[in-house]
Amino acid sequence: MKRVAILISGGGSNMVALVRSMTGDHPARPVLVASNDPDAGGLVRAREMGIETAAVDHRPFGTDRAGFEAALLEPLFAARPDIVCLAGFMRVLTPDFVRRFQGRMLNIHPSLLPKYPGLHTHQRAIDAGDAEAGCTVHEVTAELDAGPILGQARVPVRPGDTADDLAARVLKVEHQLYPAVLRRFADGERHPIYLD
Ligand code: GAR
């Protein structure tokens, strides 16, 4: 059985989708949900589901990223994860941290990468007049939002969409894509899947 740690910063709806998927004959189980924000709503949801949680506030560390990551590594190492899933984790990780989980850390990003790495993805898709948007699950590498793609899901951009409208439509398919990719990944499958 593969052990999965999930890193979050906010509401954690992707984390909930991942946790709910890991039952029955699934090859993985959740062992830890950790956040850089002690007030992240997802921490409460994780505890309600009986998952161990950890909060490592990044703010006291200021610009000391290495210090923050060293503190985050303590509960992470203690949980002995085989796979680390970033699920709405909004801190950029240093190459040193990424290297420790090379080939076994996944991220979900709310755009059809390589389009729109970084922030404000939905507004950028609307401003560009794109007919389609979506989300990508990829392996995390030192370069931001640029690791090998493991899966994508597409949604239409509708006339008059606001960024919030589009974000809500994309989030729904994130909840399908991420569990589907994690299951395959835990089984050793690295070929990307595409959900329409
Ligand atoms: C999701 O849309 C996720 O793709 C995005 O944050 C949201 C988190 O929602 N992640 C990023 O933008 C990473 N750069 P959630 O907390 O409800 O899962």
Instruction: Assess whether the C-beta atom of 110 lies below 6 angstroms from ligand 1.
Output: yes
27-65 confidence digits (pLDDT tens): 999 999 999 999 999 999 999 999 999 999 999 999 999
* Residue 194: inside a domain: no
- Per-residue exposure over 139-175, b if at least 16 CB sit within 10 Å of its own CB, e if not: bbbeeebebebbbbbbbebeeebeeeebbebbbebbb
Q: What is the pLDDT of residue 125?
A: 98
Query: pLDDT tier at 19 (50, 70, 90 boundaries)?
Result: very high
Say if the ipTM goes beyond 0.85. yes
Give the helix/strand (H/E) hosting 174: helix 163-186
- Other C-beta atoms closer than 10 Å to the C-beta of 132 total 12
Give the helix/strand (H/E) hosting 66: helix 65-79
158-179 confidence digits (pLDDT tens): 999 999 999 999 999 999 999 9
- Distance of alpha carbon 49 from alpha carbon 20, whole angstroms: 9
∠ CA 4-133-170, nearest 5°, is: 50
* Residue 196: inside a domain: no
Which token pair is 29? Answer: 């189980």
Mean pLDDT of 18-23: 98
Atom number in ligand 1 closest to CA 9: 16
Query: pLDDT tier at 196 (50, 70, 90 boundaries)?
Result: confident
The total number of structural domains that make up the chain:
1
From residue 129, alpha-carbon distances to 93, 109, 110, 174, 192 in Å are: 31, 20, 17, 22, 26
Mean pLDDT of 136-144: 96
Backbone conformation region of residue 50, classed left if phi is above 0, alpha if psi is from -120 to 50, else beta: left
Mean pLDDT of 5-25: 98
The CATH number assigned to the domain holding 114 equals 3.40.50.170
Residue 67 lies in domain: 2-188
Instruction: Assess whether the C-beta atom of 106 lies below 6 angstroms from ligand 1.
Output: no
Q: What is the pLDDT of residue 98?
A: 97
* Cα of 188 vs its chain's centroid, Å: 19
Q: What is the pLDDT of residue 115?
A: 98
23 in helix, strand or coil?
coil
* Residue 193: inside a domain: no
Q: Which residues pair with 191 in a beta bridge?
A: none
Instruction: Assess whether the C-beta atom of 37 lies below 6 angstroms from ligand 1.
Output: no
73-118 confidence digits (pLDDT tens): 999 999 999 999 999 999 999 999 999 999 999 999 999 999 999 9
* Residue 40: inside a domain: yes
* Residue 166: inside a domain: yes
119 in helix, strand or coil?
coil
* Residue 195: inside a domain: no
Instruction: Assess whether the C-beta atom of 17 lies below 6 angstroms from ligand 1.
Output: no
Binding site listing:
12-14, 65, 107
* Residue 58: inside a domain: yes
Q: Name which residue sits closest to atom 17 of ligand 1, judged by CA.
A: 13
109 given a catalytic annotation:
yes
- Distance of alpha carbon 153 from alpha carbon 93, whole angstroms: 25
CB 124 within 8 A of CB 113: no
* Residue 131: inside a domain: yes
Query: pLDDT tier at 142 (50, 70, 90 boundaries)?
Result: very high
The catalytic position among 26, 58, 109, 138 is 109
Q: What is the pLDDT of residue 11?
A: 97
pTM over 0.90: yes
Q: What is the pLDDT of residue 189?
A: 95
Mutate-to-test residue for ligand 1 from 7, 9, 14, 113, highest number of ligand atoms within 8 A of CB: 14
